[in-house]
């Protein structure tokens, strides 16, 4: 039997990873926490608007059942219903816990939690801390983990990157192989179970709202080791982003939750300043097309509407792919109290004050609904490898509702932690073997090949090409021909990768070398996303094909499962039935009450 103190490795220190760590440490397990960046700097920090829970503190009769229904409906019935039901039922207690941890949630005059509205629901269900809710939640969990760290229950390995899982002869996980990002050394760490909580894969699309570390590299490495990757084709394009040189910055849905209105001038190239354009000459297209939900339709619906206005009606502002998101009708004090964090971002990075001037926004890659396939206990098909948070596929189906991501991260971590511990305690001890040593050798050989490669291809340029083709063909609107071209392009990039040239071959804090390793994994995962999209000849949630405009439950009410075929060096696909035992699928439309 395994030792009394089961050893768990958690990879990733965002909300999901930290949630898992807290549960394991509290239950007496020993945890090693690995993260590329200091965990307090993880991407969860970027989440802005809030976290959903049907606390029903506004006298609206909200229930966890309604939250469950909104989430399933919003995800176009692709999510397995059992885990989503569990998440929605657990949400109110999770909010209470975060409240006890000291998260500075906005309050009502009576001192209770305040709630705002978000997309895809008619209830005030979103608790929030200004417009920096993700930051506040991450800090609260980070503080609890720091407390466990100071008590010796958690060991942090910050500045280490996961390279692969160590699998024994029976294919059971026995630890991880990781690289120290300072001295670039590769080491094996033993564990009875591991939890991957490594976030989304925005970097595959070049520019996105994701942080620099969100490459999907860890998930891809595991997929190449035999883990299933599920629903890879479901990528959320957020309707309101600020285009930038280095990334797309998110303008939170809370801007619309607090009354922000999306519009364009009815006339192309209207020369007037936006504020002096009279109501009659403005087109509030979301409010016109979706009178019930208005500006708060789900993200996929809003994104396609903006796309249509810009490219079919050709009414983008000044002929550019941009529309207005307008808050100027709301008084400054209210805006400052509820949205200051995001308004500041716009001000800093664009230079205009959104309290005075309507913001110019456009859709951008935002969230990875798909991810590592996990069972209802958060375990992948590799025994001992668990996953939680954006890195796995469980909770959002074909489209994620706003403010459900923070919830799914924490709930997923809270499930994965105890389940991993239970698994570890039931594990028979590892046979004495050299599996760790041989995995370490395999990784060192990869490093050696890269560092000695003397080709001509710059990894950052290859990445740019990948991002451009993925953004063009695999986001809002998808055609099979373009998808086939994209896959072909990625194959070409993989071929050129063999001819890579690392201008920096040093062995100290070599960030471009680490990036190049990630790039390879991005390319492999890019094929999973692209081919998955090609196979799914229907439109569902965020996945939209004009040639197949309807949802096709008969053929595609199924989870896409990709597995890596090492000899062919490409993905193979199977389809798995979706758990729909609680809510029978019905057509999803937001132009009327559901």
Partner 1 sequence: MATTTAPLDTRSPAKLKTVRIEIKRQASPDAEPRWEKFDLPLRTGMNAISAMMEIAANPVTADGRETTPIAYDANCLEEVCGSCAMRINGKARMACSALIDKVQENGVVRLEPLSKMPVVRDLSVDRSVLFENLKRVKAWVPLDGSYDLGSGPRITPQQQEEAYPLSRCISCTICMEVCPQFNEETGFVGAATIAQAKLFNEHPTGRVLKEERLHALMGDGGIQECGYAQNCVNACPKMLPLTKAISDVSRDVMIQAVKDVFTR
Active site residues: 299
3-state secondary structure 89-144: HHHHHHHHHHHHHCCCCCECCCCCECEEECCCCCCEEEECCCCCHHHHHHHHHHHH
Give the pairing type, strands 371-372 and 186-190.
Answer: unpaired
The residue (of 102 and 426) whose beta carbon lies closer to partner 1 is: 102
Minimum Å distance from CB 235 to partner 1? Answer: 10
Under rule CB under 8 A, which residues in 157-186 are in contact with partner 1?
Answer: 158, 182
Under rule CB under 8 A, which residues in 353-372 are in contact with partner 1?
Answer: 362-365
Residue pair 370/231 in contact (Cβ under 8 Å)? The answer is yes
Three-state DSSP state, 543: strand
Minimum Å distance from CB 188 to partner 1? Answer: 24
The residue (of 360 and 588) whose beta carbon lies closer to partner 1 is: 360
Is residue 352 part of the contact set for partner 1 (CB under 8 A)?
A: no
The residue (of 320 and 574) whose beta carbon lies closer to partner 1 is: 320
Is residue 334 part of the contact set for partner 1 (CB under 8 A)?
A: no
Is residue 567 part of the contact set for partner 1 (CB under 8 A)?
A: no
How far apart are the C-alpha atoms of 301 and 268, rounded to whole Å?
Answer: 23
Residue labelled with tokens 């396939």: 373
Is residue 130 part of the contact set for partner 1 (CB under 8 A)?
A: yes
Three-state DSSP state, 336: helix
The residue (of 59 and 351) whose beta carbon lies closer to partner 1 is: 351
Give the interface segment with partner 1, choosing from 133-141, 285-293, 485-493, 567-575 (CB under 8 A).
Answer: 133-141
Site string for partner 1, 482-521 (x = CB under 8 A): x--------------------xx-x-xxxxx---------
Determine the size of the site formed for partner 1 (CB under 8 A). 93
Under rule CB under 8 A, which residues in 383-442 are in contact with partner 1?
Answer: 414
Is residue 106 part of the contact set for partner 1 (CB under 8 A)?
A: yes
Site string for partner 1, 521-550 (x = CB under 8 A): ------------------------------
Q: What are phi and psi of 416, to 5 degrees?
A: -65, -40
The residue (of 202 and 402) whose beta carbon lies closer to partner 1 is: 202
How far apart are the C-alpha atoms of 583 and 414, rounded to whole Å?
Answer: 25
The residue (of 43 and 540) whose beta carbon lies closer to partner 1 is: 43
Taking alpha carbons only, the member of 100, 113, 106, 105 closest to residue 141 is 100
Identified binder of partner 1 from the candidate list 6, 22, 179, 203, rule CB under 8 A? 22
Other CB atoms closer than 10 Å to residue 577's CB: what's the count? 9
Is residue 99 part of the contact set for partner 1 (CB under 8 A)?
A: yes
Minimum Å distance from CB 150 to partner 1? Answer: 5
Site string for partner 1, 140-159 (x = CB under 8 A): x--xx-xx-xx-------x-
Phi-psi region of 91 (alpha: psi -120 to 50; beta: other; left: phi over 0): alpha
How far apart are the C-alpha atoms of 253 and 239, rounded to whole Å?
Answer: 9
The residue (of 174 and 478) whose beta carbon lies closer to partner 1 is: 478
Q: How far is CA 251 from CA 114, 358, 497, 510, in A?
A: 21, 12, 35, 33
Minimum Å distance from CB 137 to partner 1? Answer: 11
For the chain, what is the radius of gyration of the CA atoms? 23
Q: What are phi and psi of 243, to 5 degrees?
A: -60, 135
Minimum Å distance from CB 473 to partner 1? Answer: 7
Is residue 472 part of the contact set for partner 1 (CB under 8 A)?
A: yes
Q: What burial class does residue 168 get, using C-beta atoms within 10 Å of its C-beta: 0-12 exposed, 13-18 middle, 19+ buried?
A: middle
Under rule CB under 8 A, which residues in 194-253 are in contact with partner 1?
Answer: 206-207, 211-213, 237, 243-250
Under rule CB under 8 A, which residues in 309-328 are in contact with partner 1?
Answer: 311, 320-322
The pairs formed by 23-29 with CB atoms below 8 angstroms and a separation of 24 or more are 23/413, 23/414, 23/417, 23/418, 23/421, 24/417, 24/418, 24/420, 24/421, 25/145, 25/148, 25/153, 25/154, 26/148, 27/417, 27/418, 27/421, 29/5, 29/421, 29/424
Residue 179 DSSP symbol: E
Give the interface segment with partner 1, choosing from 36-44, 78-86, 115-123, 191-199 (CB under 8 A).
Answer: 36-44
Residue pair 417/23 in contact (Cβ under 8 Å)? The answer is yes
Identified binder of partner 1 from the candidate list 96, 281, 288, 375, rule CB under 8 A? 96
Give the interface segment with partner 1, choosing from 218-226, 344-352, 434-442, 445-453 (CB under 8 A).
Answer: 344-352
Identified binder of partner 1 from the candidate list 4, 59, 61, 111, rule CB under 8 A? 111
Minimum Å distance from CB 456 to partner 1? Answer: 12
Is residue 460 part of the contact set for partner 1 (CB under 8 A)?
A: yes
């Amino acid at each position: 039997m395994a030792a009394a103190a089961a050893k768990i490795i958690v990879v990733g220190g965002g909300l999901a990873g930290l949630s898992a760590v807290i549960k394991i440490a509290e239950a007496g397990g020993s945890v090693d926490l690995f993260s590329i960046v200091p965990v307090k700097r993880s991407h969860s920090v970027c989440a802005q608007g809030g976290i959903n829970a049907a606390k029903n503190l506004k006298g609206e009769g909200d229930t966890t059942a309604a939250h469950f229904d909104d989430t399933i409906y919003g995800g176009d019935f692709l999510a397995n219903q059992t885990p989503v039901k569990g998440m929605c039922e657990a949400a109110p207690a999770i909010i209470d816990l975060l409240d006890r941890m000291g998260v500075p949630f906005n309050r009502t005059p009576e001192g209770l939690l305040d709630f705002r509205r978000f997309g895809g629901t008619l209830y005030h269900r979103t608790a929030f801390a200004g417009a920096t809710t993700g930051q506040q939640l991450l800090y609260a969990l980070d503080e609890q983990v720091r407390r466990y760290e100071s008590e010796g229950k958690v060991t942090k390995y910050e500045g280490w990157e996961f390279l692969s899982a160590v699998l024994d002869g029976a294919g059971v996980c026995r630890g991880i192989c990781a690289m120290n990002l300072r001295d670039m050394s590769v080491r094996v760490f033993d564990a009875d179970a591991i939890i991957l909580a490594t976030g989304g894969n925005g970097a595959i699309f070049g520019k996105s709202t994701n942080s620099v570390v969100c490459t999907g590299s860890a998930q891809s490495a595991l997929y190449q080791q035999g883990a299933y990757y599920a629903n890879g084709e479901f990528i959320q394009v957020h309707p309101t982003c600020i285009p930038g040189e280095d990334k797309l910055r998110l303008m939170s849905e809370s801007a619309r939750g607090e009354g922000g209105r999306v519009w364009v001038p009815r006339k192309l190239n209207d020369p007037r300043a936006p504020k002096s354009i009279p109501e009659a000459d403005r087109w509030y297209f979301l409010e016109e097309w979706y009178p019930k939900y208005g500006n708060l339709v789900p993200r996929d619906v809003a994104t396609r509407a903006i796309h249509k206005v810009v490219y079919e009606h050709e009414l983008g502002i000044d002929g550019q792919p941009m529309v207005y998101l307008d808050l100027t009708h709301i008084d400054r004090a209210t805006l400052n109290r509820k949205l200051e964090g995001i308004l500041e971002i716009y001000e800093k990075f664009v230079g205009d004050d959104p309290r005075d001037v309507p913001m110019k926004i456009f859709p951008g890659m935002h969230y990875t609904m798909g991810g590592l396939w996990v069972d209802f206990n958060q375990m992948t098909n590799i025994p001992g490898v668990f996953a939680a948070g954006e890195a796995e596929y469980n909770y959002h189906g074909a489209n994620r509702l706003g403010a459900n991501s923070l919830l799914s991260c924490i709930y997923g971590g809270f499930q994965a932690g105890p389940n991993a511990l239970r698994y570890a305690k039931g594990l028979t001890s590892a046979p004495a073997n050299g599996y760790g040593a041989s995995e370490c050798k395999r990784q060192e050989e990869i490093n050696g090949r890269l560092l000695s490669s003397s080709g001509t291809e710059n990894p950052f340029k290859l990445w740019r090409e990948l991002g451009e083709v993925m953004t063009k063909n695999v986001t809002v609107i998808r055609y099979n021909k373009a998808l086939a071209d994209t896959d072909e392009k990625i194959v070409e990039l993989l071929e050129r990768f063999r001819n890579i040239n690392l201008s920096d071959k040093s062995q100290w804090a070599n960030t471009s070398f680490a990036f190049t390793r990630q790039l390879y994994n991005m390319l492999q995962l890019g094929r999973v996303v692209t081919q998955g999209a090609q196979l799914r000849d229907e439109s569902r949630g965020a996945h939209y094909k004009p040639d197949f405009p309807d949802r096709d439950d008969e053929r595609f009410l199924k989870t896409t499962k990709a597995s890596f075929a090492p000899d062919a060096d490409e993905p193979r696909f199977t389809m798995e039935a979706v758990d729909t035992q609680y809510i029978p699928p019905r057509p999803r439309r937001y132009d009327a009450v559901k």
